[in-house]
Amino acid sequence: MFDGGGTNRFRTSASIDLGALAENFRAIEGLLEPDVALLCVIKADAYGHGAVEVGRRLESLGAGYFGVATVDEGRELRQGGIRAPVLLLSGVMPWESLESLLEYDLTTALINPDMLERIARFRGGKPLRVHVKIDTGMGRLGFGPGELETLVRRLSETEGIEVEGVMSHFSASERRSDYGVTQVEAFVYAVGLFRDHGIEPRFVHMANSGAMVNYREAHFNMVRPGIMLYGCYPDGALRQKLSLVPVMRWTSRVSFVRLFPAGCALSYGGTYVTARETKVAYIPVGYADGFPRALSNRGSVLIGGTRCSIIGRVCMDWVFADVTALPGVGPGDEVVLIGASGNDAVSADEIAEQIGTIPYEVLCNLSRRIPRRYVG
């Protein structure tokens, strides 16, 4: 009989293996020439893994730069003791203070003409460091082809801006394509314009996780690994080219078990009706924790190394699993939501494929109410 004791008092928690993170970091380093720097992307709380703890370990391994999305994320790293340079990949919003860049020693992506003019007018006592974003075909952030001549001329005339880097982003790097090649060519042309105007950036970077494998010519002198640090692949085909280790293991526990006869409707909407006598385990996790509602009646969890189907709709705080084949299951038994158990494993990649999304979203959706425990 489960008595509520044990070392894990949480109804659900995520174990983050910093040793596995280190393995992935070293594997990524192995793809690079010695003079290529690593900007490790730890935005969105390190894709749900915990930005400060992940950043500390990566910094100890030699990560020379970090990428985040917002000033708040950069401030969190500084308050957590991280000293390496930090780049705001999404730039500074019009309503955010430029003083915060100096206060927290942050570098910002320079993403559009309005931001350029705002920084040019800023008088903070020292230059602001920027990485100029070039839109080579993503259609999101950055300066387009028709803006480049005006951009480099304005930068060469403006004091108070330190162009530390020039950057771009692939629209699809999971597999090599002609479109991606044209993006690289457009970026090389843009970097050439900077140099023609006497602007020599210290860092030139374009390659994210997928591009590090598929576009080696886009390594330049810095790359930006993200999802691969955490043991996931931008595309399944990359498994043959790089060995990665999942960093997160997300678990919960069986709360209680009920037995239903055939013909009983379960959970909201009665979308699942038992076809036979069915033993159901109730797991105290749900979409409020980041467990995808789209896994209703289609996903699975691992209990004692056995796959158990999710039945009925995923609730805000509960998931139902069919444990008819597990005669001894009971309260307190471990339930693996992401990770390995026995000879089987459920990965973020697998979940993403089941529900028609990407592993980035699966990991980033983990709620902050899920405690992270760090090992390794």
Pair (101, 165) in one structural domain: yes
Pair (265, 328) in one structural domain: yes
Q: What is the mean pLDDT of residues 157-170?
A: 95
Q: Determine the Cα–Cα distance for residues 78 and 76; give it in Å rounded to an integer.
A: 5
Pair (224, 309) in one structural domain: no
Q: What is the mean pLDDT of residues 12-16?
A: 96
Pair (76, 220) in one structural domain: yes
| Residue 139 falls inside a structural domain | yes
| Residue 1 falls inside a structural domain | no
CATH, residue 123: 3.20.20.10
| Residue 270 falls inside a structural domain | yes
Residues paired with residue 306 on neighbouring β-strands, in sequence order: 303
Pair (266, 154) in one structural domain: no
User: Which one has a higher pLDDT value, 41 or 369?
Assistant: 41
Q: Residue 86 contacts by C-beta under 8 Å, 6 or more apart in sequence? A: 65, 66, 67, 68, 74, 77, 78, 104, 105, 106, 107
The DSSP code sequence of 243-283 is -----EEEEEE--EEEEE-TT-EESGGG-EE-SS-EEEEEE
| Residue 9 falls inside a structural domain | no
Express each pLDDT in 335-352 by its tens digit.
999 999 999 999 999 999
The proportion of the chain whose per-residue pLDDT surpasses 70, expressed as a percent, equals 98
Q: 168: left (phi > 0), else alpha (psi -120 to 50), else beta?
A: beta
Pair (252, 125) in one structural domain: no
Pair (259, 318) in one structural domain: yes
What's this model's pTM, rounded to 2 decimal places?
Answer: 0.93
Pair (61, 152) in one structural domain: yes
Q: How many domains does the chain have?
A: 2
| 101 pLDDT more than 90 | yes
| Residue 253 falls inside a structural domain | yes
Q: Residue 374 contacts by C-beta under 8 Å, 6 or more apart in sequence? A: 15, 16, 18, 50, 53
CB-based contact 194:201 (threshold 8 Å): yes
Q: Determine the Cα–Cα distance for residues 90 and 101; give it in Å rounded to an integer.
A: 13
Q: Determine the Cα–Cα distance for residues 265 and 202; give it in Å rounded to an integer.
A: 63
Domain that holds residue 218: 31-231
Domain end marker among 202, 231, 260 = 231
Q: Are strands 300-303 and 334-341 parallel, antiparallel or unpaired?
A: antiparallel
pLDDT at 4: 46
CATH, residue 328: 2.40.37.10
Express each pLDDT in 311-324 by its tens digit.
999 999 999 999 99
SS3 171: coil
| 62 pLDDT more than 60 | yes
| 21 pLDDT more than 70 | yes
| Residue 277 falls inside a structural domain | yes
| Residue 8 falls inside a structural domain | no
pLDDT level of residue 112 (50, 70, 90 thresholds): very high
Q: Which residues does the annotation mark as catalytic?
A: 43, 268
Pair (287, 203) in one structural domain: no
Pair (181, 271) in one structural domain: no
Pair (56, 111) in one structural domain: yes
| Residue 149 falls inside a structural domain | yes
Pair (216, 314) in one structural domain: no
Q: Residue 122 contacts by C-beta under 8 Å, 6 or more apart in sequence? A: 98, 128, 160
SS3 209: helix
